[in-house]
Amino acid sequence: MAMKILISALSGIGDALMFTPAISLIKKHFPEVSLEAVVMFKGVKDLYERLPELDKVYYLDFMNESKFKSLKFVLGLRANNYDASINVYPSNRKEYNLISFLIGAKKRAAAKYLRRDFSNLGWLNSVRVLESDDTHNVETNIKLCSALFNLEIKELPPMNFSLTEEDIKSAENFLTKNNLKTSDYIIGMHPGCATLKNHIKRRWKPEKFSELAKRLITVKNAKILIFGGPEEEELKKGVFEGIKDNNAFIVDTRNLAQSAALIKQCKIFITNDSSLMHVSSAMKVKTFAIIGPTNPGYIHPWKTEHKIISLHLDCAPCFFYSPRPLICSRTDVQFKCIKELTVEMVYNQICS
């Protein structure tokens, strides 16, 4: 009987996307393995349901469901008798480790975290790989799979986001509707990022995105597409109104895959440290990542041309993987790393 594995991708879209190279490698080396996934974000569901390597994707919004319904759902997965489960890296919250334990796979693979591992129940997992602050998330995920299968895997594939013909057609329709051509200098921008655990402090100011866009329109004759998730509608609108130019457009898509297809039409993508930074990487678009407190060693755009735009302060990076909220210990300017990054600095990096 083929081995049955559950991928637990309960953290965000970017984390799930950075596990896709590991999925590709599992199926390459062990094509008979049955792979399923459990997710709790709609965008991750959109992404994983398009992967041919996955046999089934289970979805539940744990954050907004009752504890009873969540427990019933988890125990339902337990009935599938998985041979192994893998917590995608990073997923060091105690809730994720407890869910993995309750699902009851014979082997449970997860990273061993340098910070607060014990208090977040990391010891519930049986196959461990020690995290490293110098290692990209993609590589840590591949090391997890190597440990689970007792096989040294050296390949480092690109991320995988499969697009359908319908996804591609939706992007073409958006360009046609807005009188845009593929030959135009189309620039994607994502002024948002995750907000949980105070991560909103990673955002470059929306008005700076607007000012940068105006300069790129004037100097480069650029067409600006403003991206964001369903919860970022007001943010997108604010950036758009700050630009005040007919060459700027708000992107409104039905799902993550349609956004990905439109990002693929961009010449470059300018973004905060966000899930769409990783989507841009998966689409092989040149990516300019505006990074403040985050460790770029974990999350730099993978397998695509890119540039990290940062002040490179001595105190940065200060955000490492831990369940605690993002804080700044500076006494002069809180979150100086992102606040004092000017439009001029970002513009010069893009044009250099």
Which residues on adjacent β-strands are paired with residue 250? 226
* In the predicted structure, residue 1 carries a pLDDT above the cut 70: no
User: Percentage of residues in the chain with pLDDT exceeding 70?
Assistant: 100
Tens of pLDDT, residues 22-65? 999 999 999 999 999 999 999 999 999 999 999 999 999 999 99
Residue 81 phi, psi dihedral angles, 5° rounding = 55, 60
Three-class SS of 236-260: HHHHHHHHCCCCEEECCCCCHHHHH
Instruction: Name the band, by pLDDT with cuts 50, 70 and 90, for residue 323.
Output: confident
Report the chain's mean pLDDT, rounded to a whole number.
96
The CA distances from residue 260 to 112, 136, 173, 224, 352, in Å, are: 32, 22, 14, 16, 26
* In the predicted structure, residue 322 carries a pLDDT above the cut 90: no
Instruction: Name the band, by pLDDT with cuts 50, 70 and 90, for residue 351.
Output: very high
Positive or negative, the CA dihedral 113, 129, 148, 107 is: negative
Quote the CA–CA distance of 74 and 68 in Å, as a whole number: 10
Quote the CA–CA distance of 93 and 99 in Å, as a whole number: 10
Which residue has better confidence, 340 or 2?
A: 340
DSSP-derived 3-state class of residue 212: helix
Average pLDDT value for residue range 136-165: 95
Quote the CA–CA distance of 185 and 309 in Å, as a whole number: 21
Positive or negative, the CA dihedral 229, 230, 233, 234 is: negative
Quote the CA–CA distance of 186 and 338 in Å, as a whole number: 25
Quote the CA–CA distance of 15 and 28 in Å, as a whole number: 21
User: Percentage of residues in the chain with pLDDT exceeding 90?
Assistant: 93
pTM score, two decimals? Answer: 0.95
Quote the pLDDT of residue 26: 96
Q: Could you give all domains of the chain from N- to C-terminal order, each with its CATH number?
A: 4-149 (3.40.50.2000), 165-351 (3.40.50.2000)
Instruction: Name the band, by pLDDT with cuts 50, 70 and 90, for residue 2.
Output: confident
Chain-centroid distance, C-alpha 141: 14
Quote the pLDDT of residue 150: 93
Are residues 19 and 37 in contact, defined by beta-carbon separation less than 8 angstroms? no
The CA distances from residue 151 to 26, 127, 155, 251, in Å, are: 11, 13, 12, 43
In the block, tokens 């974000």 appear at 41
Quote the CA–CA distance of 296 and 220 in Å, as a whole number: 28
Are residues 240 and 231 in contact, defined by beta-carbon separation less than 8 angstroms? no
Tens of pLDDT, residues 56-102? 999 999 999 999 999 999 999 999 999 999 999 999 899 999 999 99
Across the chain, where does the E strand assignment appear?
4-9, 34-39, 56-59, 84-87, 107-112, 127-130, 186-190, 223-226, 248-250, 268-272, 286-290, 306-309
Tens of pLDDT, residues 277-296? 999 999 999 999 999 999 99
Written as six digits, the tokens of 17 are 């996307």
Tens of pLDDT, residues 169-197? 999 999 999 999 999 999 999 999 988 88
